[in-house]
């Protein structure tokens, strides 16, 4: 396991792409050197708005050969009061942000004979960096960009004016050109790998079509953060070093309760059990691990836990805080 490094960056540009989507360009601050990244990588952006802490994961959409900056696109959820609303309303050019170093859970597979990229709406972002890599490799590839209507086609104009345009097909459901997944997947050449990023329904559609067609499941790749449910029974947590006992209600995480009560400062980054930053030693009790960070053996050892997402198995935990 490895902990993500935190990086200080400055917002050097903000472009309004559609009424709900903005592109942010991030450059290193005076103490940071940006690590290089591979296409398909994401990073976490840490945000604090008064007492509320957020952390959202965003795919890097610029070229991986551009070592001077990171670019992300943020879609504001219709009813968002969290991270995406913060990015849209409160972040301005010149602001400093803390982000994680990039990590890649959606890498291209070198042995693929053909790369089939299927994007739904804002799910286009990781593919925008993949296009640069595929072009450089002179690889066989095609991108299918699916969206409902003009409001969803954030990057169509830009892509259609790029050197990749001959490899891109747009499927617009309001115009009746929806991608017919069953037919499409059943006709893919042998050795193709299919990469999908979009809504759950698009992901499910690809999975079902692949199953029907007998398309090998190990040649299917999805970019989705499978975030675990963080809710559960109420329990108490005793912070041994601080000498404070707190109740963690069914809707809150241990980290949120500690922050709300301002007992002790705990470092966090992803707040989703992915990065390991909030790892805390367990002194008594057992954790109900909800993270994607520890191995099964590490979870069984009950030595430490990630307090941004994991809960107690019993009624009480004692932590080394």
**Residue 124 or 308 having the CB closest to ligand FES:** 308
Cα dist. 298→59, 160, 303, 304 in Å? 28, 48, 7, 8
273 binds ligand FES (CB under 6 A): yes
Least distance from ligand FES to the Cβ atom of residue 84, Å:
18
Report which of 249, 244, 236 is spatially closest to residue 321, judged by C-alpha positions: 244
Which of 274, 287, 305, 321 lies at the binding interface for ligand FES (CB under 6 A)?
A: 274
275 binds ligand FES (CB under 6 A): yes
Would you say how long the chain is, in residues? 321
Least distance from ligand FES to the Cβ atom of residue 289, Å:
11
- Is the distance from CB of 14 to CB of 93 less than 8 angstroms? yes
At 232, list the tokens: 């559960």
Which of 22, 171, 271, 311 lies at the binding interface for ligand FES (CB under 6 A)?
A: 271
299 binds ligand FES (CB under 6 A): no
280 binds ligand FES (CB under 6 A): no
**Residue 133 or 279 having the CB closest to ligand FES:** 279
Contacting range for ligand FES; rule: CB under 6 A; set: 25-33, 110-118, 135-143, 276-284 = 276-284
Which of 154, 270, 287, 321 lies at the binding interface for ligand FES (CB under 6 A)?
A: 270
At 46, list the tokens: 């840490």
Q: Which residues contact 75 (CB under 8 A, 6 or more apart)?
A: 20, 21, 84, 121, 122, 154
57 binds ligand FES (CB under 6 A): no
Least distance from ligand FES to the Cβ atom of residue 254, Å:
10
E strand or H helix that includes residue 298: helix 296-301
Least distance from ligand FES to the Cβ atom of residue 272, Å:
6
102 binds ligand FES (CB under 6 A): no
Count of residues interacting with ligand FES (CB under 6 A): 13
SS (H, E, C) 173-230: HHHCCCCCHHHHHHCCCCCEEEEEECCHHHHHHHHHHHHHHCCCHHHEEECCCCCCCC
* Three-state secondary structure call for residue 123: helix
Contacting range for ligand FES; rule: CB under 6 A; set: 5-13, 71-79, 125-133, 269-277 = 269-277
Helices (H), 6-155: 83-90, 125-137
Token look-up 């989703």 returns 272
Contacting range for ligand FES; rule: CB under 6 A; set: 225-233, 264-272, 280-288, 312-320 = 264-272
What does the binding site for ligand FES look like in residue numbers (CB under 6 A)?
268-271, 273-278, 293, 306, 308
């Amino acid at each position: 396991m490895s902990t993500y490094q935190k990086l200080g960056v400055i917002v050097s540009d903000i472009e309004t792409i559609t009424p709900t989507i903005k592109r942010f360009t991030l450059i290193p601050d005076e103490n940071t050197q940006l690590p290089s990244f591979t296409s398909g990588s994401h990073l976490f952006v840490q945000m604090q708005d008064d007492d509320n802490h957020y952390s959202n994961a965003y795919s890097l959409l610029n070229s991986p050969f551009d070592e001077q900056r990171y670019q992300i696109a943020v879609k504001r959820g219709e009813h968002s009061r969290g991270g995406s609303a913060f990015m849209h309303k409160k972040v301005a050019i010149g602001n400093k942000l803390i982000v994680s170093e990039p990590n890649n859970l959606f890498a291209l597979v070198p042995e693929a004979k053909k790369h089939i990229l299927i994007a739904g709406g804002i799910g286009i972002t990781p593919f925008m960096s993949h296009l640069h890599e595929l072009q450089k490799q002179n690889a066989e590839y095609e991108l299918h960009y699916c969206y409902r209507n003009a409001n969803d086609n954030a990057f169509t104009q830009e892509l259609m004016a790029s050197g990749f345009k001959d490899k891109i097909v747009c499927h617009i459901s309001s115009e009746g050109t929806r991608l017919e997944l069953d037919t499409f997947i059943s006709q893919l050449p042998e050795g193709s790998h299919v990469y999908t990023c979009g809504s759950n329904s698009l992901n499910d559609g690809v999975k079902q079509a692949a199953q029907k067609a007998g398309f090998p499941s190990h040649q299917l790749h999805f970019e989705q953060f499978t975030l675990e449910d963080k809710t559960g029974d109420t329990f108490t947590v005793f912070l041994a070093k601080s000498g404070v006992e707190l109740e963690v209600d069914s809707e809150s995480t241990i980290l949120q309760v500690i922050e709300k009560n301002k007992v002790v400062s705990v470092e966090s980054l992803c707040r989703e059990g992915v990065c390991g930053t909030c790892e805390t030693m367990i002194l008594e009790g057992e954790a109900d691990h909800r993270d994607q960070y520890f191995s099964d053996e590490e979870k069984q050892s009950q030595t430490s836990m990630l307090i941004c997402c994991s809960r107690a198995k019993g009624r009480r935990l004692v932590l080394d805080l």
